[in-house]
Structure 1
């Protein structure tokens, strides 16, 4: 048919213009071919738009890129709608960002199945780019993008489930999505998983996640430590200490011992308190003072204060009022409330 021959002619002329570096002419001919039904010509217009946006072999022009993307969108090219949305989201040269136009284009791309477009919409709602934060819409967009395979949306979906934001809190679902995003190669996968494990392990102790599972808590803490969180067992120990549940004192002590392996001064102070109070271990004041001293010498305020108390009272160590006051002052200068109180009440001393 004549129309088919003309379509092929226009497409061929567009290709010739491309080879000659005449992108404006190429767009003109590809547009004529696209008007006659050549979808490949519409896609060529999108590719030319990318050249103008990135400056690939031509002088950069956001205006010409925008025009190409808009033409391609009219012909139903999903990638063009996505790129147009991203262009409006970052802001064209010399212009501010245009969130409303960005949303409209990204919605078109998302409706056509784009995972990245759905993820970007989630980010817009999550960060309030449209003017206010909308966590409900953010979660729906992230979940849609995650189901389509977007790794960053998988991580965000997991965080929504972990926090119970706009959806019921579900630590199992949170872990599943975060691990999927990490396994998909997202560059933030390790960091996000570490952060989730560090918080969730304590929630499995306190029951904040819906159930108590101390075995799961310990397993998560071990993995978080492997991923670089060297203080996770200190925080897990605190969770056990404050849970009020039977046998959690022993578990707290074990956590503090594990944390102490990473040379964390606060863990030495926590061990000192365990020995002093008989929490999870037989009471031993001399042992407690050893740990307080170690923590104090490592600049831990709690250790300084309790080592100072021990020196002041001669408990587990020879009494030394002068040394006691020195340590209490150091602790108070770091903001320890107990040391500040003792200095005022027992020594009539206030920091200035």
Structure 2
């Protein structure tokens, strides 16, 4: 449910994202929060008297005893006993017990998880007006968990709960309006519901509202308001909001440009495991932005993001191992990281992996593999990979010699301004493929070394 719109910081091939939350999961609301307001009253009650009433069939007492067991107030904490008393009260139509029973089944607390039963009990409580159950039922319909997915029904129940002031439901309804899920897309209505939830302190809605103001696609752009809401969410510990604040300090958007402050926010988000922040923090250390340059720290943070399958970080780790920056030079490790990124379509990693195969560094030399990976990068418009692939066709290494394909790929590279490709193409056109082979065949290794692997640094990628 999450989509990343990418913005870019100069340097570290920087895909700095302002993540947009595309869904809010009700299951993230802990069962303890559901009970929080009423436990104190039941804790103060005489448990023996409560049990006597519960055993006589009093639904309110049964629910109270459930809460006492759940919190361990006046007796030993026991999830199974809590469930049993909750179930008794729910069967008698007690709305709060029905909603709680839904959570027991949804999260599998003290019982086997069963989302179909969770939906059943949420439905009963929702029909009695429980805003908590309405929100949870909406999420089950949204995700198709335990019941058939139905986004329109999800919106219906989100609306019911939102109108009663349930913050998470208001946020979820905002998502539906923003993306046109189960209802006509309407960014103004999305902002309305996000603001309702944000004003109640719901951090995810604060993030989403800030995002709307930042981009200003249908809502009037206002980066001051974006900062305000990002700050609210960030101060509550929301990692993506912390990241966004760091981004704005780095760029000097609606706040003074300050890489030291940016670094602080990136560190907070990275410490919570946000891959984009870990990767970005690595870039700050790599270039010494807001902190002394430290390749070891750069590699450490990029490595954390790479371990989360963050493709840009995997590409960077390949570069770090190939250069020996912050880590010991290790072409085999470089090849492993580049392969991970290349398989996800990263064009720089595809080019680098192709070069390692051509050079036999970290892998056994294999011009067929080089041609394959350079072909993938070349197909994405990567100029140096187009040049390298053209030369393989000219030299007949890894592919059948083919002057037409050599000219085609050299021409594509030359059209992007690659001078090496332009010189090779000129020789091919003026003197033929034999002349090109005679000049280059004896220096194959030096041909594929150097800037075919890198541009002697980390490429600055422009926004897509």
CA separation of 1:218 and 1:142: change in aligned 2, threshold 3 A:
same
**Structure 2 CA distance for aligned equivalents of residues 87 and 13 of structure 1:** 29
**Structure 2 CA distance for aligned equivalents of residues 340 and 148 of structure 1:** 56
Matched, 1:146 2:209: no
Matched, 1:136 2:174: no
Q: Which residue of 2 aligns with 1:348?
A: 426
For the pair shown, the structure with the greater C-alpha radius of gyration is 1
Candidates 90, 103, 113, aligned match of 1:60 = 113
**Structure 1 CA distance for aligned equivalents of residues 84 and 384 of structure 2:** 73
How many aligned residue pairs are there? 240
**Structure 1 CA distance for aligned equivalents of residues 115 and 144 of structure 2:** 9
**Structure 2 CA distance for aligned equivalents of residues 183 and 336 of structure 1:** 51
**1:125 CA drift (Å):** 2.7
CA contact (8 A) 2:414 2:422 kept: no
CA separation of 1:114 and 1:332: change in aligned 2, threshold 3 A:
same
Give the TM-score, by structure 1 length: 0.54
1:28-39 equivalences under 5 Å are: 28-29=91-92, 31=93
Q: Which residue of 1 aligns with 2:257?
A: 218
**Greater helix content:** 1
Give the TM-score, by structure 2 length: 0.42
Q: Which residue of 1 aligns with 2:140?
A: 87
Matched, 1:118 2:170: yes
Q: Which residue of 1 aligns with 2:223?
A: 171
1:12-51 equivalences under 5 Å are: 14=62, 19=81, 21=84, 25-29=88-92, 31=93, 41-51=94-104
CA separation of 1:258 and 1:154: change in aligned 2, threshold 3 A:
closer
**Structure 2 CA distance for aligned equivalents of residues 182 and 64 of structure 1:** 36
Structure of higher RCO (CA pairs closer than 8 Å, 6+ residues apart): 2
**Structure 1 CA distance for aligned equivalents of residues 60 and 205 of structure 2:** 41
**Structure 2 CA distance for aligned equivalents of residues 225 and 11 of structure 1:** 55
CA contact (8 A) 1:49 1:64 kept: yes
Deviations 1:280-305 (A, max 9, x none): xxxxxxxxxxxxxxxxxx9xx9xxxx
Q: Which residue of 2 aligns with 1:186?
A: 238
Candidates 152, 164, 167, aligned match of 1:100 = 152
The gaps in structure 1 that reach 5 residues or longer are 32-40, 205-215, 233-255, 265-297, 302-328
CA contact (8 A) 2:214 2:221 kept: yes
User: Helix, strand or coil: the match of 2:159?
Assistant: helix
Q: Which residue of 2 aligns with 1:11?
A: 59
Q: In angstroms, what is the RMSD of aligned CA positions?
A: 4.5
